[in-house]
Amino acid sequence: MIRDVLLAEFDHEMAVTHRVLDRCPAQFDWAPHPRSFTVGALATHLTKLPRWGEWILARDSYDLVLDHATATPPFARLPEVLDAFDHNVRVVRAALIATSDAELGAPWSLRRNGTTLMTLPRMSAFKTFVVNHTIHHRGQLTVYLRLLDVPLPAIYGPSADEPM
């Protein structure tokens, strides 16, 4: 089943992301460049990405302007980040379990102010906007951690700091 494949990948990538988030130092206001996220803002963004899964699985579309939630300030402490991330992962995981393969194959659209930007199967939207988007920003966070001399966890194999 498609759902089972997505669920296995989701579970793996979210577990790895939790391990990376767990390494965030207390320097939540540090950023490698003035136009970059701070550690806190990047960690907060990573906590929110799983929620895209809930929107994708529950709705036929998302409008970047009309549905955009008010920005919330970045979390200030690591326990807040981990609690929010774990909660969001649990909510989305339950929604994915409740979704049929037929629903995963249905079209889903990303819109901006009513104009459709793209339409793709819901499973592809989930993989792109939840799993791949998380992997992308998790990679950014690992660079931040390395620049701050924080040991990196093993991800897809051993890191220079941790064996598998």
- The 10s digit of each residue's pLDDT in 124-141 is 999 999 999 999 999 999
CATH number belonging to domain 2-147? 1.20.120.450
Global pTM value: 0.94
Which has the minimum average pLDDT: 23-37, 63-77, 83-97, 149-163? 63-77
Q: Where are the domains of the chain?
A: 2-147
State pLDDT tens for residues 28-66. 999 999 999 999 999 999 999 999 999 999 999 999 998
Residue bearing the bigger pLDDT, 160 or 164 = 160
Query: What's the pLDDT at 70?
Result: 66
SS3 assignment, position 114: coil
Pairing of strands 107-112, 115-121: antiparallel
Residue 149 belongs to what H/E stretch? none
